[in-house]
Amino acid sequence: MSFQIPPPQPQYSKLSFPTPHILLVTLSRPKDLNCINSTGHAELHAIWEWLDEEPSLRVGIITGEGRAFCAGADLKEWNSTTQSNAKRSPMPSSGFGGLSRRTGKKPVIAAVNGLALGGGCEMITNTDIVIASEKAFFGFPEVARGVVAWAGALPRIVRTVGRQRAMEMVLTGRRVPVVEAEKWGFVNEVVAGGAKEAVDRAVAVAQQIAANSPDSVIVSREGVKLGWEGIGAEEGTRLLIESWEKKLNTGENIKEGLRAFVEKRKPQWVESKL
C-alpha cells in the first residue's frame, strides 16, 4: 500500500493492512506474553499518531501474537530500574501502549486473543470496541505486585462497568473470564475460536466503520467520548456543535453522502480533512 506519510518501523509490533483503510497492529513479543517495555510504548504512541495523521487510514485494530493479548508492563525492566534507583523512561502522554489515555480522532478496536492483564487491560479500557476470543480473560493484578494501574484505567473502568464491579477488579486483582466481561459491558462480542477468529471479526466490524463517512465517524466518536468522560448531555452537545458542526458541514463528505442518497447509489467518500 502507498501512504502519504511513511509508516513507523517498530521493533516490538507488526503492522499490516488486512483491507483498505484498516491498520492492524500486532504486539509481537510472544515469549514475553507481549508485555510492553519503554521502547514499545514510544513505538505504539508513534503508530497511533500515524493512524490519525495518515489520510488513507480510517480504523485501527490492536491484537497480540501468540497466546496473550498483553500481559502488561515489562516487570523485568521495571524491577531493574527500581532496584537500581535508576530513572524510568517516561510513558508517553497517550498512556500505556499509546492507548490507555489516548484522545486521538480515529477509532481503535481491540481484538483480544488471550490474557489481557494490567496495562494490557488498561489499553482495552480506552479502546472504542472490544472483540474477544472465547479464550480471553481480563484483570488488574497490580495490587498483588505493590504497584498501581497508573495509566488511566482506574477512572475509566468505573464508567464502563460501574463502581462495584470496578472495585472488585482493581482491589482483588482477580481474573475476569470473557463471558463475565461481556455481561458487564466491557466486551462487545465474544467469538468462538482464538486469535484468528477475533481478528477476523474485528476486521469485519472495522470494514463496517470504514464504509461510512470518515468525517461523520470522527465527529460521532467525539460526541460519545464527551459523554463518557463525564460531561453533561447538554454541555457535551454544545461543545460538539461548537467544535465540529461547521467543519463537518463545509466538508465534501456530507455533500457526497446526501447526494448519493438522493441519487440512490453508494457514496464515494473522500479522505477526511478534519
3-state secondary structure of 118: coil
Please tell me which residue in 64, 98, 122, 139 is annotated as part of the active site.
Answer: 122
Distance between CA atoms of residues 197 and 190, nearest Å: 10
**Of the candidates 42, 43, 37, the residue with the CA atom closest to the CA atom of residue 25:** 43
Q: Is 73 a known active-site residue?
A: yes
Please tell me which residue in 60, 98, 118, 119 is annotated as part of the active site.
Answer: 119
Distance between CA atoms of residues 129 and 256, nearest Å: 27
Q: Is 119 a known active-site residue?
A: yes
Segment holding 64, helix H or strand E: strand 59-64
* DSSP 8-class letter at 108: E
**Of the candidates 31, 32, 27, the residue with the CA atom closest to the CA atom of residue 43:** 27
Please tell me which residue in 64, 95, 142, 152 is annotated as part of the active site.
Answer: 142
Q: Is 122 a known active-site residue?
A: yes
Q: In what order do the strands lie in the sheet with 129-133?
A: 13-16, 22-27, 59-64, 108-112, 129-133, 189-191
Distance between CA atoms of residues 228 and 4, nearest Å: 33
Strands 115-117 vs 137-139: parallel, antiparallel or unpaired: parallel
Please tell me which residue in 42, 68, 71, 73 is annotated as part of the active site.
Answer: 73
Active site residues: 73, 119, 122, 142
